[in-house]
């Protein structure tokens, strides 16, 4: 069956971010957590440092409504450079204003670019950029 996931890139702190999200959403990782060292060697690929070898290659975590976020660490040795911006937004539609408030409080901790949840014409809405540079939007639609 088809599904939609949201993929997030990190520059060395993917594991820290996903452990934090695991606490926020009160869920467990799905499938195996793969590290870069778990991949078969690729011809002509640069040798990874111990830090990069232990970096996350792929991790998946269910959040709300069956949506799954997945993540990876980008490798500087491969020329990868993370550019944090507003190009990645995860929209969470909760069932209650209380759940919106709980999620907003947890995810905005240490973050920036915050717009606290407020009543809008379509429902209850807010947005923040969390401490890992990921943009989250919160909604509770009017019944």
| Top-level class of domain 1-79 | alpha beta
CATH for 86-143, among 3.10.20.30, 3.30.720.110, 3.90.260.10, 3.40.50.20? 3.30.720.110
Within a 10 A sphere around the Cβ of 137, how many other Cβ atoms? Answer: 15
| CATH 3.10.180.10 residue window(s) in the chain | 1-79
| Confidence grade of residue 87 (pLDDT, cut at 50, 70, 90) | low
pLDDT at 39: 84
Percentage of the chain lying above the pLDDT 70 cut:
95
pLDDT at 13: 93
Q: What pLDDT digit, counting tens, does each position of 47-67 carry?
A: 888 999 999 999 999 999 989
The closest of 13, 29, 2 to 134, measured between CA atoms, is 13
Q: Is the pLDDT of residue 72 over 90?
A: no
pLDDT at 4: 67
Distance of alpha carbon 23 from alpha carbon 7, whole angstroms = 19
pLDDT at 108: 97
Q: 56 with 73: CB under 8 angstroms?
A: yes
| CATH 3.30.720.110 residue window(s) in the chain | 86-143
Q: Which helix (H) or strand (E) holds 117?
A: strand 112-119
Write down the mean pLDDT value for the chain.
89
What's the Cα-to-Cα distance from 112 to each of 3, 17, 34, 45, 128, rounded to whole Å? 30, 16, 30, 37, 6
Distance of alpha carbon 21 from alpha carbon 14, whole angstroms = 10
At residue 7, the 3 state secondary structure works out as strand
Q: 123 with 141: CB under 8 angstroms?
A: yes
């Amino acid at each position: 069956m088809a599904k939609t996931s949201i993929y997030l890139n990190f520059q060395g702190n993917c594991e820290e971010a996903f452990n934090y999200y695991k606490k926020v959403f009160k869920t467990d990782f799905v499938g195996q957590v793969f590290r870069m060292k778990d991949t078969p060697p690729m011809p002509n690929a640069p040798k990874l440092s111990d830090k990069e070898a232990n970096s996350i290659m792929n991790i998946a975590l269910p959040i709300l409504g069956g949506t799954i976020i997945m993540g990876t660490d980008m490798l500087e040795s491969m020329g990868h450079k993370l550019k944090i911006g507003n190009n990645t937004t995860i929209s969470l539609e909760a069932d209650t204003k209380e759940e919106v408030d709980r999620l907003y409080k947890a995810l905005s901790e240490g973050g920036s670019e915050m717009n606290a949840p407020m009543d809008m014409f379509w429902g209850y809405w807010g947005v923040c950029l969390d401490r890992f540079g990921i943009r989250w939007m919160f909604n509770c639609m009017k019944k």
